[in-house]
Homo-oligomer: A and B are copies of this chain.
Amino acid sequence: MIEMLWEQPIRDLSIASIMDGTGLSRPAFYQYFPNVHGLVEQLLADLEVELVAAAMPWFTAVGDSRAALRDSLRGIIAVCIENGPVFRAISESAPLDARLELAWTEFMGRWDDSVSERIALEQKAGAIGPLNGVAIAVALNRLDASTLIAEFGRRPQGDPEAVLDSLYHIWIKALYTKPIQGFEGLPS
């Protein structure tokens, strides 16, 4: 199935077409998964392990963590180059099933928690200024997810270096840049 996702979006896959490649009959599918969304949920769990591993550098960095942030983003991008269509299929399927939607929400929530926590840590150390860490974390994670899926979720894939530069730029500026006189606190 994963191979098929490189060739066609998940909307074009039926259980029959998935099972065609296995030599088994369609009902055999239900011996292993309750439905297609159950299979996708499994793919998400597998992908999460890889992504978390790739993101370690920044979460565990000591001292100046900006280089580690770049390493983490590079690692995540590498995982997405290998698994982009799977990532895309998951995000496209999530809204179609309540249970899968919950799994996706929790998946994103764990990233939000991890990033928020890291921001709080660096704020305590003085490396990051007094911003709303949770809200910024949520926004940056959504940025990453949609960018990665859009750039690597189908062929032709985007340019890894350009994506890395863009994401890194935004993360660095949003988190590590000190307020500049006159740029903040504009009247609303």
Contact = CB atoms under 8 A, between A and B. Distances in A.
Interface of A: 9-11, 66-67, 70, 74, 92, 95-97, 131-132, 135-136, 138-140, 142-143, 145-147, 150, 162-167, 169-170, 172-174, 176-178, 180, 183-184, 186-188
A135 to B, nearest CB: 4
A176 to B, nearest CB: 6
A156 B167 CA distance: 30
A170 B174 contact: yes
A163 to B, nearest CB: 8
B166 A67 contact: no
Contact of A143 (B131, B135, B143, B183): B143
Contacts of A96: 11, 92
B147 A142 contact: yes
22 contacts: A11-B97, A66-B186, A131-B169, A132-B162, A132-B165, A132-B166, A135-B162, A139-B143, A139-B147, A139-B167, A139-B170, A142-B143, A142-B146, A142-B147, A146-B146, A164-B188, A169-B174, A172-B183, A172-B184, A173-B173, A174-B174, A177-B183
Contact of A11 (B95, B139, B184): B95
A176 B170 contact: no
Given A95-B92, A143-B146, A180-B177, A136 B169 contact: yes
